[in-house]
Amino acid sequence: MKPAKLHFWILGWFSVALCCWRTSETFTQSDIRSHPWKKLYFAHHWPVTVCKMNANDCHDPPKYWTIHGLWPDRAEDCNRTWHFNVTEIKDILSDMRHYWPDVLHSSLNRTQFWKHEWDKHGTCAATLEVLNSQKKYFGKALELYQHIDLNGCLLKAGIKPSSSYYKMPAIKEALTRFYGVTPKIQCIPPEEGEKAQTIGQIEFCFTKELQLVNCVVLEGESNPMQAHFKLGTSELSVCNDTLPTYYPSEVQGHK
């Protein structure tokens, strides 16, 4: 190839490469902007209720509130190429199995639940430096769990699993008084022949600075997170203040 032709060929190749690089950069920035979020929902669920919703392989569920997930609002599945790798959280596996267990599947070796949470929510939360790796994301959730200490709060308020019913406003008041913010409480509505709803999930909201804030949705503001969570034939929704509330101690014998 003659020098002149070689010169133009190199210039042409460089221009194409530069164009592709700029296009790729623009796509990446656009992709990030397409997943904006403002706060985190930190969800605890009551394993006995989870098992009631879907028995599956659910045997002898924990009798304490466990982690369901740490969810940015307005964002899901932000990076499908950032795959879950359990070796990145090997140092915290013991705590993960205890405080963030897969309630529906009894095997300690199952990691599918954590993979789902990372793929759907962790990849979006990772825009924060304190959550920008799998170990940071899961580790920070464990840290928040200890800080919230929902189990301890409810016990101090005299709210514990019982065959008797609670009034939902009393549960809300106890949580608000303890934390200074209003969480979101979800229940299974009464099934046919039942009069009480069953408490199943409590969500706390955090700012990007990891400060607690109210979870209530202001008038005129849409709720970015799904209001309903379904397992099997049962579905969680925001609890009804007027219905008696059941806080079950066992999977069997629900009234």
Question: Which residues are the active-site residues?
Answer: 68, 117, 121
For residue 185, the cross-strand partners are 202
H and E: helices and strands count for the chain? 8, 9
Cα 82-215-45 angle, rounded to 5 deg? 65
d(C-alpha 4, C-alpha 13), whole Å: 14
Instruction: Assign residue 60 a region (left: φ > 0; alpha: ψ between -120 and 50; beta: otherwise).
Output: left
**Is 177 strand, coil or helix?**
helix
Instruction: State which amino acid sits at residue 84.
Output: F
Smallest CA-to-CA distance from 59 within 71, 68, 50, 67 is with: 50
The sign of the torsion formed by the CA atoms of 106, 49, 146, 204 equals: positive
